[in-house]
Protein backbone atom coordinates (compact mmCIF):
# COMPACT_ATOMS: atom_id res chain seq x y z
CA UNK A 1 0.00 0.00 0.00
CA UNK A 2 1.40 3.38 -0.98
CA UNK A 3 1.48 6.16 1.59
CA UNK A 4 1.05 9.89 1.10
CA UNK A 5 4.69 10.40 2.12
CA UNK A 6 5.95 7.97 -0.49
CA UNK A 7 3.65 9.45 -3.13
CA UNK A 8 5.03 12.93 -2.37
CA UNK A 9 8.62 11.70 -2.52
CA UNK A 10 8.08 9.97 -5.85
CA UNK A 11 6.18 12.99 -7.19
CA UNK A 12 9.23 15.14 -6.38
CA UNK A 13 11.52 12.51 -7.95
CA UNK A 14 13.63 12.40 -4.79
CA UNK A 15 15.34 9.28 -3.51
CA UNK A 16 14.67 8.02 -0.02
CA UNK A 17 18.32 8.62 0.86
CA UNK A 18 18.32 12.23 -0.36
CA UNK A 19 15.08 13.15 1.36
CA UNK A 20 16.04 11.51 4.65
CA UNK A 21 19.44 13.22 4.62
CA UNK A 22 17.78 16.61 4.05
CA UNK A 23 15.40 16.24 6.99
CA UNK A 24 17.83 14.43 9.29
CA UNK A 25 16.00 11.12 9.72
CA UNK A 26 17.61 7.75 8.92
CA UNK A 27 16.51 6.28 5.56
CA UNK A 28 15.44 3.00 7.16
CA UNK A 29 13.23 4.82 9.62
CA UNK A 30 11.66 6.94 6.86
CA UNK A 31 11.02 3.78 4.85
CA UNK A 32 9.25 2.21 7.83
CA UNK A 33 7.10 5.34 8.20
CA UNK A 34 6.25 5.30 4.48
CA UNK A 35 5.27 1.63 4.70
CA UNK A 36 3.07 2.21 7.74
CA UNK A 37 5.24 0.15 10.09
CA UNK A 38 6.10 3.16 12.25
CA UNK A 39 4.09 6.13 13.40
CA UNK A 40 5.32 9.69 13.15
CA UNK A 41 5.20 12.26 15.93
CA UNK A 42 4.13 15.87 15.41
CA UNK A 43 7.68 17.24 15.17
CA UNK A 44 8.67 14.76 12.47
CA UNK A 45 5.40 15.30 10.64
CA UNK A 46 6.26 19.04 10.52
CA UNK A 47 9.66 18.15 9.02
CA UNK A 48 8.00 16.16 6.25
CA UNK A 49 5.35 18.83 5.60
CA UNK A 50 7.95 21.60 5.42
CA UNK A 51 10.21 19.54 3.15
CA UNK A 52 7.41 18.87 0.67
CA UNK A 53 5.76 22.27 1.05
CA UNK A 54 2.36 20.88 2.01
CA UNK A 55 -0.02 21.37 4.90
CA UNK A 56 0.68 18.92 7.73
CA UNK A 57 -2.91 17.62 7.61
CA UNK A 58 -2.42 16.47 4.01
CA UNK A 59 0.14 13.94 5.22
CA UNK A 60 -2.62 12.06 7.00
CA UNK A 61 -5.31 12.21 4.33
CA UNK A 62 -6.09 8.70 3.06
CA UNK A 63 -4.38 8.25 -0.30
CA UNK A 64 -7.34 6.45 -1.85
CA UNK A 65 -9.22 9.77 -1.89
CA UNK A 66 -6.58 11.51 -3.97
CA UNK A 67 -7.30 11.91 -7.66
CA UNK A 68 -4.36 14.05 -8.67
CA UNK A 69 -1.04 15.45 -7.52
CA UNK A 70 -0.88 17.38 -4.28
CA UNK A 71 -0.40 21.09 -5.02
CA UNK A 72 2.44 22.82 -3.22
CA UNK A 73 1.63 25.64 -0.83
CA UNK A 74 2.57 29.05 -2.16
CA UNK A 75 4.61 31.30 0.06
CA UNK A 76 2.71 34.43 0.92
Domain boundaries, the chain: 4-65
What pLDDT, on the 0 to 100 scale, is given for residue 44? 92
**DSSP result, 32-64:** HHHTTSS---HHHHHHHHHHHT--GGGGGS-GG
pTM, 2 dp: 0.75
Residues 68 and 11 sit within 8 Å (Cβ to Cβ): no
Q: For domain 4-65, which CATH number applies: 1.10.1750.10, 1.10.260.40, 1.20.140.10, 3.40.50.300?
A: 1.10.260.40
Residues 4 and 63 sit within 8 Å (Cβ to Cβ): yes
What pLDDT, on the 0 to 100 scale, is given for residue 59? 83
Distance CA 56, CA 30 (A): 16
**pLDDT values of the chain reduced to their tens digit, one per residue, 76 residues:** 468 888 899 989 999 999 999 999 999 999 999 888 998 899 999 999 999 999 998 887 766 655 555 566 665 5
Amino acid sequence: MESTLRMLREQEKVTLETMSKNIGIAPGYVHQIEMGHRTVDFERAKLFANYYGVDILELFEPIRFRAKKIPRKTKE
